[in-house]
Structure 1
Amino acid sequence: MKRRQVLHALGGSAVALGVTPWARAQAFPSRPINLMIAFPAGGPTDITMRVLAENASKILGQPVVIENRSGAGGTLPAQALQTAKPDGYTLAQIPLGVFRLPYTTKINWDPVKDISYILCVTGYAFGVVVPADSPFKEWKDFVAYAKANPGKLSYGSTGALTSPHLTMEEIAQKLGIQLNHIPYRGSAPLMQDLLGGQLMAGADSTGFAPHVEAGKLRLLNTWGAKRLARFPNTPTLMELGLGIVQASPYGIGGPKGMDPGLIKAVHDAFKQAMEMPNHVEVLAKYDQELLYMNSAQYTRFAEETFAKEKALVEKLGLAKPT
């Protein structure tokens, strides 16, 4: 889709939906678009989202500039949307942690109602890794040590209340063990400390894969519905009897109140961008696959996930005091 087709889609959808002449009058985009992501430079999310942004830039005819806003469990981009204009020039990655925020922190906005959900892009492939010289040769060794040494087994995640953190806490609850959680701002600093011997284990997406393949880390389990093709000998949490599958889907959202025609134009451009071969290839590097949802489907996913995360946070005893 060329830029004129994007403009045509924007204007045409505005006519069809009976919205104000704004959509037809605007030459969108006429300047760079800012896309905030929730994790630091150098990690899997940053690398894959930069390819996506570059593809979208070519389609839209304006730069899509990545801004890394890491910390706060991956929720800073979504929070920043609350003060942004709904003009399409400020977009954000929406990680699953956004849907947990009201249950753990006092906020004055609603993760479902106060974000325009544009499209879902992909999800992560997670697992637990340990240094290659770790005495934990298998998952059962990890569990045995944790049971014998309550609170002494340190593991890092990509942030407090992120999917890796909450999934590990759910695992610990199911197994009756206590772990020492160390939060990081993203995969890159987590891997640095794990490789440096400052942690006993790490729960992360497959940014760890190159280190496992290089013999520097050992993979104890993965969290998908089936084994990863790259690591066929590593069991899933389901196979280990834990009954957990976690992929943590994420996509792109904008500020509340975006014009429906504008949402469609952004959606169409990023859908084409995400399906380009170079983006599919870089996702595969981190064992990720396309997980497309259109704007209506992604909005419905947000509503359903918001309710599910409330139940999980309360089960783990992590809900904020009332």
Structure 2
Amino acid sequence: MIRANHLVFSTRFLLEVISLKDFLMPSKLTKYVCVFLCTLMVPWAQAQDAGAYPNRPIKLIVTVPPGGAADFIARLLASKLSTSMGQPVIVENKAGASGVVASDFVAKSAPDGYTLLQNSITTHGIGPHLMTKLPYDPITSFTPITMLASLPLIMTINADVKAQTLPEFVTLAKQSPNKLAFASSGNGGAPHMAGELFIAATSTALIHAPYRGSGPAVADLVGGQVQVMFDGAPSLIPYITTGKLRALAAASPRRNPLLPNTPTFAELGYPSVNVALWYGLMAPAGTPPDIIARLNREVNQALKSSDVLERFASQGTEALGGTPEQAASYVRHEFDRWSPVVKKAGIVPN
């Protein structure tokens, strides 16, 4: 309020100095005064706009097509935020190039809080190390808002594989190097990298069989064309419960609530095999801190609501949340973590 009063006083004083003739035939002094007034008005107008945030719909850009875990999380969050923030939060799916299309769109959008990115392990963890050049910087082109959710991976095998436990499978794999194949939803994805971590941790040799998506990979795992796969529990549990697949270990710090009898890799002596499909929320770099704070507050509140927690639990998903600083640290850690894994796996960047 004091700043606004000061602005009004300064404006009135300067206008008294300038005569009507000056406006009609502007001198250098008049031009300088007008420029000065404009510089005073810009931060005031920005402050007014930020104070009214949001005053129009917000776009939440998702890096994958509709359907699947990422889209489910984004739409659930958008519904909660639309109610709490008083403006529609619209999910836009911009799939392509492992998240590069969506990420580039957000990175180049106005930093005003109206275009947000649901980032992930693909866009800000593994993906940047699979490409020789990106049209943006994964770290400096964005401002983290908070983490959203984590979907830990499960290692499963076809029920016909002669192993009942993870130690038995490791023994079998060592006895038959390059005879067993592990499926993934595609080269460079989290399931692929989980398999590479497993190979490194157990000193085994498995054949990687990349598919175009999780669906066909799971189908061939059930059919016995491949023997092993890392994926989220929701896609695997229907086949585990019917005995067509066998869960060996959870690639997470804690046991998966949907499979409480399945031990973690850490329990079995392989703590490095810890992989989850994680998702966060980011804005373009330069977004005002007060807008970031507002979004952080609203999202954390949504993630703590009972209906969101129940929906997440039904999908084996863990709500995360936290501060922007914690999100920045998490993303930086994941970005640094996957570079040596990609190199060791021999994946050549495109």
Q: Taking structure 2 as the reference length, what is the TM-score of the superposition?
A: 0.74
Letter in 1 for 2:140: K
1:118-133 → structure 2 map (5 Å cutoff): 118-133=145-160
The corresponding residue for 1:251 is 280
Aligned match of 1:231 in 237, 259, 262?
A: 259
Cα distance in 2 for partners of 1:189, 1:62 equals 39
Query: CA separation of 1:201/1:106 partners in 2, compared to 1, >3 Å: closer, same or farther?
Result: same
1:145 CA displacement: 4.8
The CA deviation string for residues 188-222 of structure 1, in whole angstroms up to 9 with x for no partner, is 55445544555433211222234423444321211
Aligned match of 2:319 in 263, 272, 290?
A: 290
The corresponding residue for 1:165 is 192
The CA deviation string for residues 100-156 of structure 1, in whole angstroms up to 9 with x for no partner, is 344331224221111111111221221112344555543345435544544443333
Identify unmatched segments of 5+ residues in structure 1: 1-17
Letter in 1 for 2:76: V
The corresponding residue for 2:246 is 218
Cα distance in 1 for partners of 2:100, 2:250 equals 24
The corresponding residue for 2:270 is 242
Letter in 2 for 1:236: T
Letter in 1 for 2:46: W
Aligned match of 1:104 in 130, 155, 161?
A: 130
1:60-75 → structure 2 map (5 Å cutoff): 60-70=85-95, 72-74=97-99
The CA deviation string for residues 213-245 of structure 1, in whole angstroms up to 9 with x for no partner, is 344432121111232233232221122322223
Cα distance in 2 for partners of 1:62, 1:306 equals 33
Identity %: 32
8 A Cα contact 1:43 1:186, kept in partner: no
Query: CA separation of 1:300/1:174 partners in 2, compared to 1, >3 Å: closer, same or farther?
Result: closer
Letter in 2 for 1:105: M
The corresponding residue for 1:56 is 81
Aligned match of 1:281 in 310, 315, 327?
A: 310
Partner SS state of residue 124, structure 1: strand
Partner SS state of residue 169, structure 1: helix
Cα distance in 1 for partners of 2:348, 2:84 equals 43
Query: CA separation of 1:79/1:174 partners in 2, compared to 1, >3 Å: closer, same or farther?
Result: same
Larger radius of gyration: 2
Aligned match of 1:181 in 183, 204, 208?
A: 208
Letter in 1 for 2:58: I
Cα distance in 2 for partners of 1:57, 1:188 equals 32
Letter in 2 for 1:277: S
1:56 CA displacement: 1.2
Report the structure, 1 or 2, having the larger helix content: 2
Query: CA separation of 1:93/1:48 partners in 2, compared to 1, >3 Å: closer, same or farther?
Result: same
Cα distance in 2 for partners of 1:142, 1:316 equals 21
Cα distance in 2 for partners of 1:29, 1:189 equals 42
The corresponding residue for 1:37 is 62
8 A Cα contact 2:182 2:195, kept in partner: no
Cα distance in 2 for partners of 1:200, 1:40 equals 28
8 A Cα contact 1:43 1:188, kept in partner: no
Q: Count residues with an aligned counterpart.
A: 304
Aligned match of 2:49 in 9, 12, 25?
A: 25
The corresponding residue for 1:87 is 112
Aligned match of 1:114 in 106, 127, 141?
A: 141
Letter in 1 for 2:48: R
Identify unmatched segments of 5+ residues in structure 2: 1-41
8 A Cα contact 2:146 2:327, kept in partner: yes
1:70 CA displacement: 4.6
Measured on the aligned residues, the alpha-carbon RMSD in Å equals: 3.0
Cα distance in 1 for partners of 2:248, 2:270 equals 14
Query: CA separation of 1:48/1:104 partners in 2, compared to 1, >3 Å: closer, same or farther?
Result: closer
1:166 CA displacement: 1.3
Cα distance in 1 for partners of 2:74, 2:345 equals 31
Deviates more, 1:266-275 or 1:140-149: 140-149
Query: CA separation of 1:202/1:116 partners in 2, compared to 1, >3 Å: closer, same or farther?
Result: same
Cα distance in 2 for partners of 1:31, 1:193 equals 46
Letter in 2 for 1:160: N
The corresponding residue for 2:26 is none
Cα distance in 2 for partners of 1:254, 1:211 equals 39
1:187-226 → structure 2 map (5 Å cutoff): 187-188=214-215, 190-195=217-222, 199-207=226-234, 208-226=236-254
Aligned match of 1:155 in 174, 182, 185?
A: 182
Partner SS state of residue 194, structure 2: helix
Cα distance in 2 for partners of 1:279, 1:238 equals 29
